[in-house]
């Protein structure tokens, strides 16, 4: 079966030739199949966010190619790639326009693959569609669609951002510690939604987390990053047999945060 996402020998060096030179991603290769949900773990500075940024096109690569759904996207600018990629970050403020209403935010996200001209930004049909879909989040957002996003709680916002990331049916969903800023119950809710949305057959998901339990609980594959490389890649039986303790023991991850 064809891989949905192929990352071939990519390298990303920051500050090349300066004393601050940092090889953030080093000759990394990774292939994801449609339907894959990969959790990404690793110490601070291991290069997890950089990997996701490379895939999303935030900065140019030094070497290597990225192929998504059969299309080489290595040189495509970030905003154009975004048509096939949904992203959610740790900061709940990053994903929404705070001074616009929930429905307006959704309309912007939903129009990702449509032409953006002088068509009405929001039709009655859109509204009904959004109301129906928002109800799936079970956060009561469907009753406050005209409310400005800045009035929402962090958890509500992050759920909305996640929803906005998948509403236009991307090929790839990139999540960078998207529940790290939430309280435990909100985090759990957003993770449950993540799992639900990741079930789409023609998409794959990558989720960075510092929570080892979540890393094993969600998804079908886990990779561990160390200094810009993939140090471990487990799935199937091997992953089922993995425990948080064994993970920590095996890779001597001396990071207290990860035990939690």
Partner 1 sequence: MMTLTALLGAIELGTIYAVLALGVFLSFRTLNMPDLTVDGSIVTGMATAAVMCSAGINPYISLIGAFIAGACAGFMTGILHTRLKIQAILAGILVMLASYSINLRIMGKTPNIPLTKSETIYNMADKILPSKYSGIVIGLIVLAVIILLLYLFLQTRLGFVFRATGDNEDMVRAAGVSGDNMKLMGLAISNGLVGLAGGMLAQNQAFADISSGTGMMIIGLASVILGEVVFGTKTLLRRLISASLGAILYRVIISQALYLGMESSDLKLVSAVIVAAALYLGILGEKGAKIRKRRGQNGKSASNS
Positions in the binding site for Mg ion (CB under 5 A): 49
Region of 23-31, 45-53, 104-112, 249-257 interacting with partner 1 (CB under 8 A): 104-112
CA angle 237, 40, 60 (to 5 degrees): 135
With beta carbons less than 8 A apart as the criterion, state whether 14 and 184 touch.
Answer: no
Q: Which does 219 bind (CB under 5 to 8 A by kind): partner 1, ligand ATP, Mg ion, none?
A: none
| Residue 221 contacts partner 1 per CB under 8 A | no
Distance between CA atoms of 125 and 167, rounded to whole angstroms? 15
With beta carbons less than 8 A apart as the criterion, state whether 183 and 114 touch.
Answer: no
Q: Which of 13, 111, 181, 244 binds partner 1 (CB under 8 A)?
A: 111
Q: Which of 113, 128, 147, 243 binds partner 1 (CB under 8 A)?
A: 113
Q: Which does 22 bind (CB under 5 to 8 A by kind): Mg ion, partner 1, ligand ATP, none?
A: ligand ATP
Please give the backbone phi and psi of residue 184, each rounded to the nearest 5 degrees, phi first. Answer: -55, -40
* 66, β-bridge pairs: 7
Q: How many CB atoms lie within 10 A of CB 163?
A: 25
Sheet holding 221-226, edge to edge: 85-88, 172-176, 204-208, 37-42, 221-226, 229-235
Shortest Cβ 15–ligand ATP spacing (Å)? 6
| Residue 49 or 194 with smaller CB distance to Mg ion | 49
| Residue 67 or 181 with smaller CB distance to Mg ion | 181
| Residue 79 contacts partner 1 per CB under 8 A | yes
Q: Could you identify the residue written with the tokens 């929001």?
A: 122
Q: Which of 1, 44, 99, 256 binds partner 1 (CB under 8 A)?
A: 99
Q: Which of 150, 199, 217, 250 binds partner 1 (CB under 8 A)?
A: 150
Shortest Cβ 183–ligand ATP spacing (Å)? 20
| Residue 112 or 210 with smaller CB distance to Mg ion | 210
| Residue 45 contacts ligand ATP per CB under 6 A | yes
Distance between CA atoms of 68 and 79, rounded to whole angstroms? 15
Region of 38-46, 65-73, 190-198, 211-219 interacting with ligand ATP (CB under 6 A): 38-46
| Residue 3 or 90 with smaller CB distance to Mg ion | 90
Cα torsion through 142, 148, 150, 152, rounded to 10: -20
Distance between CA atoms of 192 and 187, rounded to whole angstroms? 9
Distance between CA atoms of 43 and 28, rounded to whole angstroms? 17
Shortest Cβ 168–partner 1 spacing (Å)? 8
| Residue 95 contacts ligand ATP per CB under 6 A | no
Q: Interface with ligand ATP by CB under 6 A: which residues?
A: 14, 22, 24, 42, 44-50
């Amino acid at each position: 079966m064809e891989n949905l996402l192929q990352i071939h020998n990519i390298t990303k060096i920051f500050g090349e030739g300066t004393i601050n030179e940092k090889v953030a991603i080093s000759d990394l290769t990774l292939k994801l199949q449609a339907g894959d949900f990969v959790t990404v773990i690793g110490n601070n500075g291991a290069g997890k966010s950089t990997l996701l940024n490379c895939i999303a096109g935030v900065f140019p690569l030094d070497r290597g190619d990225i192929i998504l759904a059969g299309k080489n996207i290595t040189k495509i600018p970030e905003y154009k790639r975004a048509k096939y990629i949904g992203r959610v970050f740790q900061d709940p403020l990053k994903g929404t326009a705070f001074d616009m209403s929930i429905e307006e935010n959704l309309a912007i996200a939903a129009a990702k693959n449509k032409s953006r001209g002088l068509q009405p930004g929001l039709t009655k049909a859109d509204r009904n569609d959004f109301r129906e879909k928002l109800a799936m989040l079970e956060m009561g957002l469907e009753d406050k669609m005209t409310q400005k996003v800045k009035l929402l709680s962090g958890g509500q916002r992050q759920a909305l951002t996640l929803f906005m990331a998948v509403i236009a049916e991307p090929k790839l969903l990139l999540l960078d510690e998207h529940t790290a800023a939430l309280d435990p119950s909100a985090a759990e809710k957003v993770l449950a939604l993540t799992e639900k949305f990741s079930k789409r057959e023609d998409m794959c998901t990558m989720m960075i987390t510092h929570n080892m339990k979540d890393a094993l609980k969600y998804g079908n594959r886990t990779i561990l990053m160390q200094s810009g490389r993939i140090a471990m890649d487990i799935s199937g039986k091997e992953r089922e047999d993995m425990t948080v303790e064994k993970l920590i023991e095996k890779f001597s991850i001396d990071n207290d945060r990860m035990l939690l």
